[in-house]
Amino acid sequence: MKRLYPLKPQVKKGKDPLPLKVPQYVGTPGWVLLTHNELSEPIALFIDSAETVTPLSLILDERLFSDTVLRVTRLSKDIFLVCDLRYLNGLCVFETMSYTQRQEKIATLLELFHHPDMTALIGYEGVPPNTSIRGYETYDIVPGTLGVFIPTDT
């Protein structure tokens, strides 16, 4: 799956903010891959920046397991903040949808197809209070453009 759907950064470091701003929380950044194994069974995997693969137990509609790639931040053992959407069922939505459109798609997919009983996939509105912020990601309205990361002043 990594060969078919490269895990490319969607945010770069910079100094000039773009119009849309969201917090980047402290946690383990990575990707959630929703695919099928060699027996055609749906599987969910978390891959961190060191390329460590961790299987996840999710309650999620099987229709999303046709090669969906989510950019996430692992906030705790069983809570993942879904920061962005790269591929949806094999289609690269990053190149065709703006950041705002991708966020709306994430919210719709989580509301319709996910139950957080085992492992929670949450949007920005579900982040626990007092979660530390590493910095801010800013985006424009053009599909396929990278966001800009601006660290907080510490």
Domain boundaries, the chain: 25-125
Q: Are 17 and 24 in contact (CB under 8 A)?
A: no
Residue 110 dihedral angles phi and psi, to the nearest 5°: -65, -40
Q: Model pTM greater than 0.85? A: yes
Class of domain 25-125: alpha beta
In the chain, the N- to C-terminal Cα span, in Å, equals 38
**Residue 81 clears pLDDT 60, i.e. is over it:** yes
Q: Are 43 and 65 in contact (CB under 8 A)?
A: yes
Q: What is the pLDDT at residue 4?
A: 60
More confident residue, 71 or 17: 71
Please give the distance of CA 130 from its chain centroid, rounded to a whole number: 21
- In 3D, which of 1, 79, 71 has the Cα closest to residue 42? 1
Q: Are 95 and 101 in contact (CB under 8 A)?
A: no
**Residue 1 clears pLDDT 60, i.e. is over it:** no
Q: What is the pLDDT at residue 11?
A: 73
Report d(CA 112, CA 41) in Å as an integer: 21
Q: What is the pLDDT at residue 2?
A: 58
